[in-house]
Structure 1
């Protein structure tokens, strides 16, 4: 179980991340999308499904967004109402600052009743009016800490600039956070530096390190590559050139991603950092989604081959729908 693996700091956790359908999608179409998602994931050996809360981050940059922003369905509603037959734990993202303490408390109660787990993220722009700070949100969550785990986000690109990601992570650990899901990793050196600095800090201060779950996503087109840039994902120039020169960007990016996952596995094992992977598709093209499903299977098997993933499940269990 995801809960036990995080609490026991077991490496080899595998997650899969999705975004809910757009808010204006018809109920019939939402049902169809959900069913396709369930069918794709049923054959995967994953520990939990991540459902993102997509925010309009246009205010944080002057660059034009490659894909227009459209509001999505509430992730808790989508997971509970449409994905219930997929019998894996759900991890739900929420920008805590957009909600009052009372609203967050009610939301956490709803999550806890369904054995879902929260990840609090920051507000979409620095000048966004904050109703509840992250430390306050974590304090509200504490009422459920015996039966839950809470995650947070880590950004290797931010560490490259500010050199304080290890401090941020330890501060959040003091608030109850036990695992971190990274922004998509395409710059291996950035991710390694976070691991190295966190390992050194934890060793120096005799702190048990948290679990780091690295997000892996394929890039299937020049447009997706531009979108990654816009999101703040650092893709090294030589990797961009490699992708652009390849005959098949998607196939080449999948191979690069699998190499990154293998390298991070070895590095975390050397540094005794509990770790795992979250596989997603930042695009909605069928080919890129199918590539993400393929990578999830390959990464899960790679972790088993290296002896760091233990799972008795060979496929997700589909509960009968009523």
Structure 2
């Protein structure tokens, strides 16, 4: 069960993430898209399905968006009405700034799952107008229901700039977050620096670390690469060069992603940090979506092989290591 794995702080939680269809689609088109989602996901062994809630981030960056922003249907509604036949726990992202107090409560209450999971997402920039602050959302989530497990967002790239992302994890944990999901990572050094600071701060202050799921995605074209950079994903120059000049940019990105996660997993397991993996496709191209499904299977095999070398941590995670 996903909830048990999160609360036990297990190593190797693995999820897959999707974005709901665009609001402008007909009901028939939405049903068609959802059926494709179900068919792709039903045969992969994952702990949870993340359903994103996206927001326009043009106020965060001045550069023109490579792909146009189009509103998607509500992720909670998509889960309840279109993903109900998929037998896997759903993790609903909620951009809390677009809700008021009542709307957020109703969205959570309407979740049809017995155990409910939600990742609360704050404003994309200080200039964005919001109806509900992230701190207020955490307070609502903490008081609303015992069966709601709240997660937070972590961005390793921010740590490179501000060196305080680990403290955001600690503060959000104190506000009720039980797990975290990262933005897509392609810079292993940024992620290791974050994990290192998080580990030593927790060790010095006798704090139990919570699971962090690092997000991977295939990159199958230069267009996708441009979109990743616009989103703020830090891609080292050498890695960008390797992708652009490779014979097959998609295969190269998958190999790089697997190597990055394996290096992170080795680093984390050595210190007892309970990390896992989330996989998504930033592109709607069939070849990139199918590659993301294969990436889930490959990462799962990496995790299983590492846990075989450390059978003592497989059932209960890293909860008490080095603390």
Q: What's the CA shift string for 1:248-278, capped at 9, x where partnerless?
A: 1001001001111111110110111111000
Report the CA distance between 1:144 and its aligned residue.
Answer: 4.7
Report the CA distance between 1:31 and its aligned residue.
Answer: 1.0
Equivalent position SS for 1:12: coil
Report the CA distance between 1:113 and its aligned residue.
Answer: 5.2
8 Å CA contact 1:150, 1:177 repeated in 2? yes
Equivalent position SS for 1:59: coil
**Residues 1:90 and 2:75 aligned together:** no
8 Å CA contact 1:3, 1:148 repeated in 2? no
**Residues 1:76 and 2:44 aligned together:** no
Report the CA distance between 1:5 and its aligned residue.
Answer: 0.3
Equivalence map 1:178-217=2 (5 Å): 178-217=178-217
Partner of 1:66: 66
Q: What's the CA shift string for 1:224-245, capped at 9, x where partnerless?
A: 0000110000010000100111
Residues in 2 aligned to 1:100 and 1:22: alpha-carbon distance in whole angstroms? 23
Residues in 2 aligned to 1:29 and 1:99: alpha-carbon distance in whole angstroms? 27
Partner of 2:117: 117
Residues in 2 aligned to 1:134 and 1:68: alpha-carbon distance in whole angstroms? 26
Partner of 1:243: 243
Equivalent position SS for 1:17: strand
Q: What's the CA shift string for 1:104-145, capped at 9, x where partnerless?
A: 122221237553311100123321222222121111111356
Residues in 2 aligned to 1:108 and 1:37: alpha-carbon distance in whole angstroms? 23
Partner of 1:129: 129
Partner of 1:255: 255
Partner of 2:318: none
Q: Give the RMSD, CA atoms, in angstroms.
A: 1.5
Q: What's the CA shift string for 1:82-113, capped at 9, x where partnerless?
A: 11100101111111122111211222212375
8 Å CA contact 2:214, 2:277 repeated in 1? yes
Query: What is the TM-score of this pair, normalised by structure 2?
Result: 0.93
Report the CA distance between 1:310 and its aligned residue.
Answer: 6.0
Inter-CA distance 295–9: structure 2 relative to 1 (3 Å threshold): same
8 Å CA contact 1:112, 1:148 repeated in 2? no
Partner of 1:52: 52
**Residues 1:164 and 2:170 aligned together:** no
**Count of residue correspondences:** 311
Structure 2 gap ranges (5+): 316-323
8 Å CA contact 1:202, 1:209 repeated in 2? yes
Inter-CA distance 199–153: structure 2 relative to 1 (3 Å threshold): same
Partner of 1:221: 221
Equivalent position SS for 1:149: strand
Report the CA distance between 1:148 and its aligned residue.
Answer: 2.6
Residues in 2 aligned to 1:104 and 1:112: alpha-carbon distance in whole angstroms? 15
**Residues 1:264 and 2:290 aligned together:** no
Report the CA distance between 1:23 and its aligned residue.
Answer: 0.7
Residues in 1 aligned to 2:94 and 2:87: alpha-carbon distance in whole angstroms? 22
8 Å CA contact 1:220, 1:288 repeated in 2? yes
Q: What's the CA shift string for 1:34-68, capped at 9, x where partnerless?
A: 11111111110100000001111011111000011
Residues in 2 aligned to 1:68 and 1:13: alpha-carbon distance in whole angstroms? 33
Q: What's the CA shift string for 1:196-222, capped at 9, x where partnerless?
A: 000000001000011110000010000
Residues in 2 aligned to 1:114 and 1:18: alpha-carbon distance in whole angstroms? 21
Query: What is the TM-score of this pair, normalised by structure 1?
Result: 0.93
Inter-CA distance 188–171: structure 2 relative to 1 (3 Å threshold): same
